[in-house]
Structure 1
Amino acid sequence: MTGALTLPMLGLILFCILAETAREVCFKQSANEHTLVSAMSKPITWLGIVFWAVELFAWTAVLERVPLTIAFPLMALSYVIIVFAGALIFKENINLRHATGVFLVTAGVACVGVTGL
């Protein structure tokens, strides 16, 4: 491991963030079912599992090359993206306190990202 965050690795981390967001959206959609058995019979659940598997391989590739102290905090951007996905796709509300938390997570990720470059 070189210990540096390269542009390709940053791109792979962003891919992991998008895969995680897609997975969570799929799981949220399938969670509208009343039972686990009925949710597991839906293709959207299995699509979420595929996103999970793809992210696992991509994340492992990231961790082979980027220090965990840099890579993991950058993955916190998934919390920000998932909040926006919930608001856009599921019409969930974001209040001021929630938005402040999202801003603070983003600021923290920016601090870590700058130190890793």
Structure 2
Amino acid sequence: MSGTLTLPMLGLILFCVLAETAREVCFKQSASENALLAAMTKPVTWLGIVFWAVELFAWTAVLERVPLTIAFPLMALSYVVVVLAGGMIFKENINLRHAMGVFLVTAGVACVGVTGL
């Protein structure tokens, strides 16, 4: 492990963030008041599971090359992207306090990212 964050690895981490976001959107889409078994019959649930598997392999590749102390905090960007996806796709309410929290997470990720480059 080189101990630094390269641009290709940053790109792979961002891919992991997007895969995680896609997984959460798929799971949210398949979730309903129905039982778990009903959700398991929906194709969107299985698409979410595929995103989960793809992310697993990509994340393992990241962890082979990037220190966990750098890689894991950058994955916190998924919190930001999932909140944005929830607001845009599902029309969920994002109030000022929520938005401020997302901003603070983003600021923290920026601090970690700059440290690792």
Q: Which amino acid aligns with 1:18?
A: L
SS in 2 for 1:2: coil
Mapped pair 1:56 → 2:69? no
RMSD of Structure 2 on Structure 1 (CA): 0.6
1-structure distance, mates of 2:91, 2:37: 26
Aligned residue pairs, count: 117
Q: CA deviation at 1:33?
A: 4.8
- Stretches of 4+ aligned residues off by more than 6 angstroms: none
Mapped pair 1:89 → 2:92? no
SS in 2 for 1:34: coil
| Unaligned runs of at least 5 residues, structure 1 | none
| Unaligned runs of at least 5 residues, structure 2 | none
2-structure distance, mates of 1:64, 1:91: 38
Mapped pair 1:16 → 2:16? yes
- What is the TM-score normalised by the length of structure 2? 0.99
| Cα shift readout 1:29-70 (whole Å, capped 9, x = no counterpart) | 011251100000000000000000000000000000000000
1-structure distance, mates of 2:17, 2:32: 23
Q: Which amino acid aligns with 2:21?
A: T
1-structure distance, mates of 2:19, 2:47: 11
1-structure distance, mates of 2:33, 2:26: 12
SS in 2 for 1:74: helix
